[in-house]
Amino acid sequence: MDPVPPVDAAAPGFLPAPAEDAATGDAAMPEGMRNGREIFQAFREGLAEPGCDAGTTRYQAHFRHAPSRLADPDSDVLPLFGYVVEALREAHLPTEYALIPFVESGYAPGARNAAGPAGLWQFITQTARDQGVPVHKGYDGRLSPAESTRAAVEYLRKLNGMLGGNWRLTAMAYNAGESRVLQALRRTGAGALEAKPSSLQGLSPITYAYVDKLHALGCVLKQAGEQDEWLARLDRPVLALEARPLEGAGNLHAWAMGNGQDADLLRRLNPALAHRWTSPPLALVPAIAAPPPVALDAIRATAPANEPAAAATATAATGNARVHTVRSGESAWAIARRYGVAVRKLLELNNLGPNSVLRPGMKLRIED
């Protein structure tokens, strides 16, 4: 699968740094959040080959922007990377494979290649279908990071077992197809575990380069991890994502409104779900518990058409509490997420009910 240029993901996947727990001194993560530095640590601990060899310098310049993309608080890359790393660790697979979406799509769920591959993992249609990803008119599961990551992890597990746990040969098979790599391996007469990519003859130069790119990218991130300043940029709450079937609704907006989720965020993360559906699709959503049944339409900010947008967000300190001034278009979910509190707690603290309406200019207490 040929790499495609990274696609910008202009969406916040973060919250301001949380307060430390008074008893332990540790930063308490808000619901649905995880620490970005811990994501990177999990990646490092899962590497099959944590060292760097001399052959990686050729491609390191190509990936020089990868650390800044991971550390960018206005990008969805780190939450998606964390989701993939966790899926690979649960499957007992090397986390080098979490670099594949970087090379393939720039970690953009909606990436499409003019040659046909699509999605985070750049599956071609037939490979996606072979791995159980539905691709049909009105729905392309390759554009669902939940569907495609499930399929990619299963496919990589199969290839990894077939090739003796050799992550480099597995990556080559992911790129070129298992039959080509197995044929090349048979010609060498060597076992898969000890075989090196350079010993396999007759494969495309793109396939040999593919492994070098993954290793080079891993080394770029390893070098970034030795810089305190970069690690400090990761040390923040990041969205924890989970795959969940969207039951009880026929479209993304309706499901989001009924489950206390941000519809715009879900659209960004799940470009496959642009249309209505008849059976619950698998989607990637923030790992938060649904609030009591509420019509989020009733608690979102609603302003008359002529309401000026000048009521900008403001946060002021009042004693030990913070006060947030609601601006046009803000929802209770978005405000709660910003400050790391549950929607339910935000409503209760301000004597609001599930049917309350937020209006621009309202003052909301954020914490006691």
Average pLDDT (312-341) is: 67
pLDDT in the model for residue 328 = 66
Same domain? 176 vs 249: no
- pLDDT higher than threshold 80 for residue 343: no
Do 46 and 112 lie in one domain? The reply is: yes
For the chain, report the end-to-end CA distance as a whole number of angstroms.
53
More confident residue, 348 or 46: 46
Assign 327 a pLDDT band (cuts: 50, 70, 90): confident
Whether 208 maps to a domain, the answer reads yes
- Check whether residue 189 and residue 68 sit in a common domain: yes
- Do residue 274 and residue 305 come from a single domain? no
Catalytically annotated residue among 104, 154, 194, 307: 104
Do the strands 314-318 and 321-325 form a parallel or antiparallel pair, or are they unpaired? antiparallel
pLDDT over threshold 90, residue 11: no
CB atoms within 10 A of CB 353: 10
Boundary-marking domain end, from 218, 234, 250:
234
The reply to whether 122 and 244 lie within a common domain is no
- Mean pLDDT calculated for residue range 118-146: 95
Please check whether residues 57 and 165 belong to one and the same domain: yes
The Cα 1–Cα 103 span in angstroms is 10
Give the domain-ending residue among 268, 287, 306: 287
Cα 315 from Cα 354, distance rounded (Å): 23
pTM, entire model: 0.75
Same domain? For 125 and 203 the reply is yes
β-pair partners for 238: 14, 34
Is position 22 within any domain?
no
Angle at 172 between CA 168 and CA 178, to 5 degrees: 120
Boundary residue ending a domain (211, 234, 257):
234
Contact 297, 337 (CB under 8 A): no
Do 64 and 223 meet the contact criterion of CB atoms below 8 Å apart?
A: no
In the numeric block, which tokens belong to residue 34? 């995880």
CA angle at residue 360 from 355 to 361, to 5 degrees? 115
The verdict on 327 and 343 lying in the same domain is yes
Higher model confidence: residue 249 or residue 11?
249
Please check the confidence at residue 9 and state whether its pLDDT lies above 60: no
Which of the two residues, 64 and 24, has the higher pLDDT score?
64
341 phi and psi angles, rounded to 5 deg? -125, 160
The reply to whether 335 falls in a domain is yes
81 and 141 both lie in a single domain: yes
223 and 262 assigned to the same domain: no
- The confidence score (pLDDT) of residue 357 equals 73
| Tens digits of residue pLDDT in 83-98 | 999 999 999 999 999 9
CA distance 133 to 151: 7
Annotated active-site residue 330? The verdict is: no
- The answer to whether 238 touches 13, Cβ cutoff 8 Å, is yes
Counting the structural domains of the chain, the total is: 3
**Confidence band (pLDDT; 50, 70, 90) for 361?**
confident
- In a domain, residue 23? The reply is no
Tokens (6 digits) for 190:
């060597």
The DSSP 8-state label assigned to residue 198 in this structure reads: G
| Residue 9 counted as domain residue | no
Structure tokens at 137: 């008119």
Q: What is the overall mean pLDDT for the chain?
A: 83
Quickly state the pLDDT bin for 56 (edges 50, 70, 90): low
Average pLDDT over residues 252-272: 90
pLDDT at 194 over 80: yes
| Same-domain pairing of 340 and 262 | no
Q: Are residues 227 and 140 in the same domain?
A: yes
Considering the domain boundaries, does residue 228 fall inside one? yes
* Domain with 157 in it: 33-234
Average confidence (pLDDT) over 306-315: 37
Of residues 113 and 32, the one with the higher pLDDT is: 113
Quick one: which H or E segment has residue 231? Answer: helix 228-234
Identify the helix (H) or strand (E) that includes residue 130.
Answer: helix 125-130
In a domain, 28, yes or no: no
Say which residue the tokens 């080098």 belong to: 96
247 vs 360 pLDDT, higher one:
247
Using the 8-state DSSP alphabet, how is residue 61 labeled?
G
Report if residue 325 sits inside a domain: yes
